[in-house]
């Protein structure tokens, strides 16, 4: 029986542990806190699932596959983890990122529809789209209950036979690139070690040495107390690529999410203060005021501080740094939705069935913003 140590029980590590445990691996999953803890990127109340990724079809396909995987996970766990509320992209130009996305989705037979900005009134209680060129509607996109999904995935991994160890794992002193981890001075060995440590990865391995720097940024998430008409699934999720703004209707009574995807300031995930900046609140209100005017004065109901672990080109890291030692990280703020499908892909890599795509390697990467939003704010 092949053995693996997965370090980190965020959604990436937990999903991988589950996949490997149910396909015959002996799995040890090491987590310094507990699955779903407040510092995790995966512990956000909600995360969006969408297939649009501009001109890139690899992530579009993976997201579409992941949607089925999330449904299966719901059936297994008996929990509702995914609200298929649909998603509207607000396209400022006729031939930009959203247009490229629409072309890819159509080629892949992933349902989508190009709509007139005036159609926004059909989806939202109030909508101003006079600055827009068109809307791109993804009916099968939606909102994942992220923190809960992370806890459920970790629990299923344990039920499938993974051993969950609560400890801080470190590379073995003097020999960081061994297929082993050090826990409280004791060394654990396995055929493979996967460091799925999210924003903690740069403190463990200097990926910049290989040409791929990892930057950790503070991201403020805001939910506003909107009237009942703004409840998901009646109200879809939405993304304004040009303005780097996104959100969704109220899920579970925690308010309507309206927040920025623009990169925040450098951040330390373990000890960084988790209070949102007033500037983030002002920015979100300014956006709401333009798009959904009456919500500009809605009370702030719920906030979270999270972190992105960004590569320069927003492509992930799936890289073997020494025989049997893998880094899985650099999610770049868009990895939650893909997790179950990504786990199957990485399991294939670990099992030697296929090599990872070259794009995920540790090499010099050119700055590029094609996979999330423009980074511009207005």
Determine, following the binding rule CB under 6 A, whether residue 19 of this chain makes contact with ligand FAD.
Answer: no
Residue span 328-357 as binding mask against ligand FAD, x where in contact by CB under 6 A, dash where not: -x-x-xxxxx--------------------
The residue whose two tokens read 């939405």 is 238
List of residues 6+ apart from 347 with CB closer than 8 A: 16, 19, 20, 23
Residue 324 CB, nearest approach to ligand FAD (Å): 18
**Contacting ligand FAD (CB under 6 A), which of 19, 47, 192, 365?**
47
**Contacting ligand FAD (CB under 6 A), which of 18, 20, 25, 32?**
32
Q: Check if the beta carbon of residue 224 is closer than 8 Å to that of residue 280.
A: no
Determine, following the binding rule CB under 6 A, whether residue 274 of this chain makes contact with ligand FAD.
Answer: no
Give the binding-site size for ligand FAD (rule: CB under 6 A).
36
DSSP string for 102-169: HHHHHHTT---EEE-GGGHHHHSSS---TT-SEEEEETT-EEEEHHHHHHHHHHHHHHTTPEEEES-E
Residue 171, SS3? coil
Q: Which is nearer to ligand FAD, 334 or 365 (CB)?
A: 334
CA 373 – CA 98 distance, rounded (Å) = 10
List of residues 6+ apart from 209 with CB closer than 8 A: none
CA 269 – CA 258 distance, rounded (Å) = 23
Q: Which is nearer to ligand FAD, 295 or 327 (CB)?
A: 327
CA 338 – CA 61 distance, rounded (Å) = 10
Kind and range of the H or E element at 282? Answer: helix 278-291
Residue 76: CB atoms within 10 Å? 12
Residue 100 CB, nearest approach to ligand FAD (Å): 19
Determine, following the binding rule CB under 6 A, whether residue 306 of this chain makes contact with ligand FAD.
Answer: yes
Residue span 185-214 as binding mask against ligand FAD, x where in contact by CB under 6 A, dash where not: -----------xxxxx--------------
**Contacting ligand FAD (CB under 6 A), which of 48, 51, 251, 343?**
48
Determine, following the binding rule CB under 6 A, whether residue 12 of this chain makes contact with ligand FAD.
Answer: yes
Residue 51 CB, nearest approach to ligand FAD (Å): 11
Q: Which is nearer to ligand FAD, 28 or 219 (CB)?
A: 219
Interface positions with ligand FAD (CB under 6 A): 7-13, 30-33, 40-42, 44, 47-48, 168-169, 196-200, 219, 221, 306-308, 329, 331, 333-337
């Amino acid at each position: 029986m092949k053995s693996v140590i997965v370090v980190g029980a965020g959604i990436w590590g937990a999903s991988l542990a589950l996949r490997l445990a149910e396909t015959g691996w002996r799995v040890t999953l090491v987590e310094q806190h507990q699955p779903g803890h407040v510092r995790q990127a995966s512990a956000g109340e909600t995360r969006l699932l969408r297939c649009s990724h501009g001109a890139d079809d690899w992530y579009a396909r993976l997201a579409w596959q992941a949607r089925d995987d999330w449904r299966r996970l719901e059936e297994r766990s008996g929990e509702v983890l995914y609200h298929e509320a649909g998603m509207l992209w607000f396209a400022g130009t006729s031939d930009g990122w959203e247009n490229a996305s629409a072309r890819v989705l159509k080629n892949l037979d992933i349902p989508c529809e190009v709509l007139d900005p005036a159609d926004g009134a059909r989806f939202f209680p109030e909508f101003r789209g006079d600055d827009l060129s068109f809307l791109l509607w993804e009916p099968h996109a939606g909102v994942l209950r992220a923190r809960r999904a992370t806890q459920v995935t970790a629990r299923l991994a344990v039920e499938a036979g993974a051993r969950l160890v609560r400890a801080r794992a470190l590379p073995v002193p003097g020999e960081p690139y061994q297929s082993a981890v050090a826990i409280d001075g004791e060394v654990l060995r396995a055929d493979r070690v996967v460091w799925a440590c999210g924003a903690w990865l740069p403190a463990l391995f200097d990926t910049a040495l290989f040409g791929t720097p990892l930057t950790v940024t503070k991201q403020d998430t805001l939910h506003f107390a909107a009237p009942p008409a703004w409840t998901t699934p009646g109200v879809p999720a939405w993304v304004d690529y040009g303005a780097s703004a996104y959100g969704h209707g109220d899920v579970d009574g925690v308010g309507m999410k309206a927040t920025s995807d623009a990169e925040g300031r450098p951040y330390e995930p373990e000890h960084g203060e988790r209070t949102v900046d007033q500037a983030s609140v002002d920015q979100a209100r300014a956006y709401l005021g333009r798009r959904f005017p009456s919500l500009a004065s809605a009370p702030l109901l719920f906030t979270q501080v999270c972190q992105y672990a960004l590569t320069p080109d927003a492509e992930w890291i799936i890289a073997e740094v020494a025989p049997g030692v893998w880094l899985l990280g650099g999610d770049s703020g868009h990895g939650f939705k893909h997790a179950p499908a990504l786990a199957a892909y990485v399991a294939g890599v670990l099992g030697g069935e296929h090599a990872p795509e070259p794009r995920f390697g540790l090499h010099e990467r050119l700055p590029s913003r094609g996979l999330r939003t423009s980074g511009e704010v207005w």
